[in-house]
Amino acid sequence: MKKLNRRFFLKGGMAGTALLADTGLAKKASAADTFGGYPDSMGVLVDFTKCVGCRSCEAACNKEQGLPAPDKPFDYMSVFDERHKGQKRRTTEKAYTVVNRYNIKDREQGPVFRKFQCNHCNEPACLTSCFVNAYTKTKEGAVIYDPTVCVGCRTCMIACPFYVPAYSYSNPINPVIKKCIMCYDTRLKFGRPPACVEACPQEVMTFGKRKDLIKLGHNRIQKNPEKYIDHLYGEKEVGGTAWMYMSDVPFEELGFNTHLGEQPIISYVKEFLTIVPMVLTIWPALFTGFYLLANRKEAFKNEKPSGNE
Amino acid sequence: MNQLVKQGFSPVVSHRKKDGSAWTVKEKIFLGLTPGDYFSEQFRNPFNWILAVIYAVGLPIIIGRFIYGLGWVTHSSYDYPWGLFLGFGLFTMVPLSASGFMMGTTVELFGRSDFKPIERLGLLNGLLGYLFAVVFLQVDLGQPWRLIYPMFVSLGPAAVLFLVAWHVATYLSCQIAELVPAFAEWMGLPRAKKFIKSIVLGLTIAGIILSTLHQGALGGLFTYAPGKIHPLWYSSPFQWFHFLCSAIFAGLSMLIVVSTLCKWFMRWRCDENFLNSLDRLTLGIAKGAALALITYLAIKLIAVAHDNEWQYIFTGWGQWFLLEITIGVIVPLILFTMAIRNDSADLARLGAFIAVLGIVLNRLNTALIAFNWNLYQDIPHWREVVICITVYSTYIVVYRAILARMPILYTWKE
């Protein structure tokens, strides 16, 4: 009986380990060093000093993405005073980009307007947290999303450090994540800038290769050191983002989170992912050992009579 | 039922009636009562009336959730994508169900056969907790019919939730297998029981592996949100261990709570073997829980020290954190210790009850209250609360129905 038990256990244990090792290996592969982005990926540099808050980008986005008509027309400036639970407007299932107004004390030119949309991270938290692999970081730099596989767990919304993805809660049949895809299907894929960039009358946004934009941004800061804050937000934040920002007021005053650090979000999860293969490989032997140890008295008992024979 | 038994009625405990003829399955389902007696008995039970009220309100709302979508039952928050369904249903039900692998390990692996009378209750508590965590998940998922997508359609193996999905699915099967003997005895299928017996060690070790990883993974899920969760509830290196270690005392405490409820309300179904050993077993389980509690307390404080978060302790959030630690960890730890020293099972029961509440508080803190701590607080929609109560009531109904029938609290007489 005893031997039968052990043999059965080994069989079961091996099959189990093999099955699980599969998933463990995949995790290990993703636990490689920081990715840092595709070499020739595109990006957008946003200069808040130029933005006048006309909301043309919002209207262009709405049209390009075929989104439902907004609650208030795009030329209504009263939306800047809207507050939801004390928060300014954010991206929703009906708006992939929004502009918010920030009243800055003692700023001669008046308030600062901040455009907000998906930042298209180099190593997106949404992508790494998705258990059906719905997200893709394209070589052009966009973070796109496949709604046909989305289960609706909304972990990506938990993971996104910028609070970007929205969800169509109101749809009972086919609710999906809604977010900016940098106009990938209609424009970026063909080398054209996103609709919002093109629509801007103030040329707030510059579309180009991300690595060139970084140089451009730093040059601009160098030429006007007294004007700009010496920081390109998005150059290094959470592993770098395709959209980067320059401002003449400190970024935290524009509602930016300046405590995100330079590590991509996945690096915080790796500490857990590392233990997965260890548990899978060590536990079977360890606990079988405990079993043998705990039952040693019975093993002796069984052996004695046969030894006397 | 307790009264019926006092009047001399004895529920089914073997395949044969007193006169020697066999019970039919239908008779077994009615516990050996006539259908008429059975239903009038159910009718008399005041708890069933409470359930009826809950279902009268809750069922239409659950149906409404699937007709009108999540937006109808929740605040449709983009900032709080997870509400009570996951915060309570998944993140609380799963640790409270860790009793399955703990009892399996104790009895089958460590050879503590003196815990046998309560082993099956531990296993059942595990199975049903997981099952209903999945039910809660199904209520919460935007497209529940796509639940199998991460398994077969589109795989994202690098995601923590992928691991949770696979492990919960495999572990559910594992737990069903571990409970097959109880079902087999009741139905009279000796071969099924014999087969499970031959692989029980494999099942137990698989249970330990899967439990370690998915209990940890539930903590791992929150490591995706540094900065969103208050630092006192967030720790990149230790989060998985906090969740795993607290699941150990959570599962054990839940087992004590459930066994106490059985002793009170389902005494008619418990046999002498269970009732006579319960005080001793409660204290034994309390010992295990106390060990897990002290470990958890230590590693919680080490996490605060590791990330140097002492300055937060003196803020409002810090007070809340200390309150959680005091109620959820220190008080149960003291009660368990006193219970063991004074040989008082009732004290251990009180400690277990408080520990269970502490775990609920901890998981709700991590998932909802300390989540978005620098944004705003989201109070769940009332319909969300009603659905939670309704699903949890179903959990109790199923739990009670199985306990009343299968040999969990009593030993089957062959």
Q: For residue range A164-183, what is the model confidence (pLDDT) as tens digits?
A: 999 999 898 999 999 999 99
Overall number of domains in chain A: 1
Span A234-269, pLDDT tens digits: 999 999 999 999 999 999 999 999 999 999 999 999
Span B158-167, pLDDT tens digits: 899 999 999 9
- Torsion, Cα A208 A213 A216 A221, to 10 degrees, reads 140
Neighbouring C-beta atoms of residue B21, cutoff 10 Å: 9
Q: Where are the domains of chain B?
A: 1-31, 45-405
The answer to whether B171 and B130 have CB atoms below 8 angstroms apart is: yes
B209 CB neighbours in chain A (<8 A) are 16, 20, 279-280, 283-284
Of all residues in chain B, the one with the smallest CA distance to A296 is B111
Query: What SS3 state is found at A79?
Result: helix
- Extract the residue ranges of chain B whose pLDDT is less than 70: none
Which of A88, A90, A269 should we substitute to test contact with B (largest number of B Cβ atoms within 10 Å)?
Answer: A269
- On the CB side of B224, CA atoms within 13 Å amount to 27
Q: Which whole-number Å values give the CA distances from B137 to A33, A124, A195, A269, B236, in the listed order?
A: 33, 25, 38, 22, 25
Average model confidence (pLDDT) across chain A: 87
Residue A34 maps to a domain = no
B226 CB neighbours in chain A (<8 A) are 161, 261, 265, 268
CATH fold group of domain B45-405: Formate dehydrogenase/DMSO reductase fold (1.20.1630)
What is residue B175's predicted lDDT score, i.e. its pLDDT? 92
Look up residue A255 and give its two tokens: 């509602």
Which of A131, B28, A291, B294 lies closest to A299, judged by CA? A291
Query: What SS3 state is found at A135?
Result: strand
What is residue B190's predicted lDDT score, i.e. its pLDDT? 87
A289 touches chain B (CB under 8 A): no
What is residue A305's predicted lDDT score, i.e. its pLDDT? 60
pLDDT band at A34 (very low <50, low <70, confident <90, very high): low
Length, in residues, of chain A: 309
pLDDT band at A306 (very low <50, low <70, confident <90, very high): low
Which amino acid is located at B203 in the chain? L
**Domain range for A192:** 42-266
Residues B298 and A39: their CA atoms lie apart, in Å, by: 46
- Cβ–Cβ below 8 Å for A169 and B70: yes
Q: What is the ipTM of this complex?
A: 0.89
Look up residue B263 and give its two tokens: 């002793």
Neighbour-count burial of B322, counting CB atoms closer than 10 A to its CB (0-12 exposed, 13-18 middle, 19+ buried):
middle
Look up residue A269 and give its two tokens: 């999860």
Which of A147, A128, A132, A145 lies closest to B150, judged by CA? A132
B70 touches chain A (CB under 8 A): yes
Helix runs in chain A, H state only: 2-30, 56-64, 125-129, 155-159, 195-199, 210-223, 266-294, 296-308
- Cβ–Cβ below 8 Å for A272 and B219: yes
Between helix A2-30 and helix A266-294 the angle, nearest 10°, is 170
What sign results for the dihedral spanned by CA atoms B373, B378, B379, B382? negative
The secondary structure element, H or E, covering residue A175 is: none
What is residue A24's predicted lDDT score, i.e. its pLDDT? 44
Residues B363 and B86: their CA atoms lie apart, in Å, by: 10
The answer to whether A45 and A216 have CB atoms below 8 angstroms apart is: yes
List all residues 6 or more positions away from B38 whose beta carbon is below 8 Å from its beta carbon.
Answer: B30, B31
Bridge partners of residue A178, in order along the sequence: A166
Q: Which whole-number Å values give the CA distances from A189 to A41, A144, A194, B289, in the listed order?
A: 11, 11, 10, 58
Instruction: Show which of residues 223-262 on chain B sit within 8 Å of chain A, judged by CB atoms.
Output: 223-228, 236-237, 239-240
What is residue A13's predicted lDDT score, i.e. its pLDDT? 43
B90 touches chain A (CB under 8 A): no
B299 touches chain A (CB under 8 A): no
pLDDT tops 70 at residue A14: no
pLDDT band at A28 (very low <50, low <70, confident <90, very high): very low
How far B307 CA lies from chain A's nearest CA (Å)? 13
- Cβ–Cβ below 8 Å for A175 and B142: yes
Pairing state between β A143-145 and A42-47: unpaired
Residue A249 maps to a domain = yes
From the centroid of its chain, how far is CA B227? 30
Which amino acid is located at B244 in the chain? L
What is residue B9's predicted lDDT score, i.e. its pLDDT? 78
pLDDT tops 60 at residue A22: no
pLDDT tops 70 at residue A4: no
- Cβ–Cβ below 8 Å for B158 and A275: no
What CATH number does the domain containing A261 carry?
Answer: 3.30.70.20
What is residue A300's predicted lDDT score, i.e. its pLDDT? 81
Look up residue B240 and give its two tokens: 């998985």
